[in-house]
Amino acid sequence: MRHDQLDEPALDWRAKGFWQPDPPVPDAVFAAAGHSLFGGAVTWPVLAVRRSAVAHNVATMADFCTRHGFSFAPHGKTTMAPSLLDAQLAAGAWAITMATASQLLACRALGVPRVLLANELLDPTPLRWLAGELDRGFEAYFFVDSVAGVEAIATALADQPGEAPLRVLVELGFPGGRAGCRTVEQVVEVAEAVAATPRVRLDGVAGYEGGLPDDAAVTAYLRRLRAAATELARRRLVGPEVLVSAGGSAWFDLVAEELGGDWLAGHDLRVVLRSGAYVTHDHGFYAEHTPFHRIPGEGGLDAALELWAQVTSTPEPGLAIVGMGKRDASYDEGLPVPLRVRRRSGEVHAVEGMSVDRLNDHHGYLAVPPGVEVHPGDLVCFGISHPCTAFDKWRAMPVVDDDHVIVDVLRTYF
C-alpha cells in the first residue's frame, strides 16, 4: 500500500467544484479575476455561497444578541471555514463554539482567542495540551456531565505541570436526550466533584435544547437550566461570574425569553448563545424552523447556499438525472430543493414542480412533472437542508455576488 506510481502531491491544490487543470493562482488573485460562475472556472456540481446572504445573516444574529444582552459564540463546526469565523468575530462574537478536540486544535492554530467546546473532553492527549495552551493565554471552556468524567480529567492532568485551571461548564440535558445531567441534583453533584478537583474550575452551566420536540418542552428545559445556575450560585459552587449557555438555530427566541435579563442577583451573569446553522441558513429544515417566523419584527435570515448541478440524462418521462448526490448535498434532514433551471442558452426558468426523489453517491433523481421540459446539459440550482452536512462535503466553495460573479474562495477544514 505504499504510494509508488501516482503523483499524490499533484492533488494538493485541487478542490472539487473548481476546474483547475493547472496549479492555480492564489485564491485572492482568482477571486479578483471576475469569473462568472458559468464561465468555465468551476465545474459541476459546485456549492456556491451567496456573499450578500451571509453578510445579512451574520449582521442579523449579531444584532439579535446585542438586543437581548447575550454574548454570542456561533458554532463554528457548521462551516469549519476560517473566512466565516472571521466574519463572525469581526461582527462582535465573544467566542467561537466547537464540538471536538480536533476542532479545538484547529481554532488554536487559526488564532481564535476564545473557544467554547460544547462537548465533554476526556481524551488525555488534548486535555494535557489544553492545560499548556491555557497557560499561554488561550481561553477555552468545555462541558462535564459526570463525576466519572471529572475523575478522568483529574487522572489525565495528574502529572501535568502548569497553573491555569481547566474551565468547565456542567452540562444539563434532559431524559431521553443526548449528554448532560438529567437533574439539577446531578448538576450539583458534578459541581461538587469539580470543586474537589485541582486544576479544574467551574464557570457555569450549559445545555442544548435542539433535540426537544416543541416550545413547551424547550421552555421547561430552559427554566431547569436557569434553576441549575441559580442553585450552583446559591451553594457558592460557581461565581461571582456565571456563564449560562444554550441555543442552536431553532429556538433562540425562547432562549431570549427564558434566559434574557439580569436574573442572577449578586452575580455577573453572561448568557452565551451558540447558534451555528444561521450563518448560511437553508431552504429546508431551518427555513421551516427558524425562530424568526415567531418574531418577524426582529429580522429574518436569507438562505446562502446554492448547489448547482448539470442534467446528465433524461432517460424516461418524468425523470431527469442530475450530476450531484450524497457526496455533494446534505440528505439527513431533507433532500435538496430545486430552485431554478438554467438552460445552455443562459435562460433561467422556474422549477415548475420538480423535486428530488433520492440520491446515489454522485447522482440525483429529479422528478419532473408532465409538460415540464429539462434537457441534458441544463443546469439546476438547488437549495439544501441542514448546512452542517453540506459544508463538510466541500473543501472549497466559490463565494458569489448577486450576479453570480465569483468574488472569493471559501475553504473548509473538516
Other beta carbons within 10 Å of 23 = 9
Q: How far is CA 149 from CA 28, 112, 160, 178, in A?
A: 45, 26, 17, 15
Interface with its own copies (CB under 8 A), residue from 25, 66, 86, 352? 86
Output the nine-digit C-alpha cell for 6.
501516482
What's the rounded Cα separation, in Å, for the pair 252 and 21? 45
104 or 233, CB closer to its own copies?
104
Distance in Å, CB of 16 to its own copies, minimum: 5
Interface with its own copies (CB under 8 A), residue from 48, 95, 112, 244? 112
Q: Which of residues 237-276 bind its own copies (CB under 8 A)?
A: none
Which has the closest alpha carbon to 331: 303, 304, 365?
A: 365
368 or 399, CB closer to its own copies?
399
Residue 413 lies near its own copies (rule: CB under 8 A): yes
Distance in Å, CB of 55 to its own copies, minimum: 7
6 burial type by CB count under 10 A (0-12 exposed, 13-18 middle, 19+ buried): exposed
Interface with its own copies (CB under 8 A), residue from 60, 68, 79, 82? 82
256 or 390, CB closer to its own copies?
390
Residue 221 lies near its own copies (rule: CB under 8 A): no
DSSP string of 197-244? Answer: STTEEEEEEE---TT--SHHHHHHHHHHHHHHHHHHHHTTSS-SEEEE
What's the rounded Cα separation, in Å, for the pair 182 and 189? 12
What's the rounded Cα separation, in Å, for the pair 366 and 333? 18
Which has the closest alpha carbon to 380: 19, 34, 46?
A: 46
Residue 225 lies near its own copies (rule: CB under 8 A): no
64 or 174, CB closer to its own copies?
174
235 or 358, CB closer to its own copies?
358
Residue with cell 466541500: 394
Residue 96 and residue 121 in contact, taking contact as beta carbons nearer than 8 Å? no
Q: Residues 6 or more apart from 22 whose CB is under 8 A from it?
A: none
Size of the site for its own copies (CB under 8 A): 98
Residue 123 lies near its own copies (rule: CB under 8 A): yes
Distance in Å, CB of 263 to its own copies, minimum: 26
β-pair partners for 358? 365
Distance in Å, CB of 5 to its own copies, minimum: 5
Distance in Å, CB of 267 to its own copies, minimum: 27
42-58 burial, b if ≥16 CB within 10 A, otherwise e? bebbbbbbbbebbebbb
Distance in Å, CB of 414 to its own copies, minimum: 6
Which has the closest alpha carbon to 105: 68, 80, 135, 84?
A: 80
| Interface map 380-409 toward its own copies (x if CB under 8 A) | --------xx--xx-x---x--------x-
136 or 236, CB closer to its own copies?
136
Return the C-alpha torsion angle 21, 22, 28, 31, nearest 10.
Answer: -30
Q: Which of residues 158-197 bind its own copies (CB under 8 A)?
A: 171, 173, 175, 177-182
Interface with its own copies (CB under 8 A), residue from 95, 131, 140, 152? 152
197 or 310, CB closer to its own copies?
310
Distance in Å, CB of 242 to its own copies, minimum: 23
Distance in Å, CB of 258 to its own copies, minimum: 22
Interface with its own copies (CB under 8 A), residue from 72, 116, 145, 253? 145
269 or 378, CB closer to its own copies?
378
What's the rounded Cα separation, in Å, for the pair 65 and 60? 9
Q: Which of residues 19-48 bind its own copies (CB under 8 A)?
A: 19-21, 40, 43-45
Distance in Å, CB of 104 to its own copies, minimum: 10
Q: Which of residues 306-335 bind its own copies (CB under 8 A)?
A: 310, 312-316, 321, 323, 326-327, 331-332
Residue 97 lies near its own copies (rule: CB under 8 A): no
Residue 16 lies near its own copies (rule: CB under 8 A): yes
26 or 297, CB closer to its own copies?
26
Other beta carbons within 10 Å of 224 = 20
Which has the closest alpha carbon to 190: 243, 232, 160?
A: 232
Q: Which of residues 332-351 bind its own copies (CB under 8 A)?
A: 332, 344
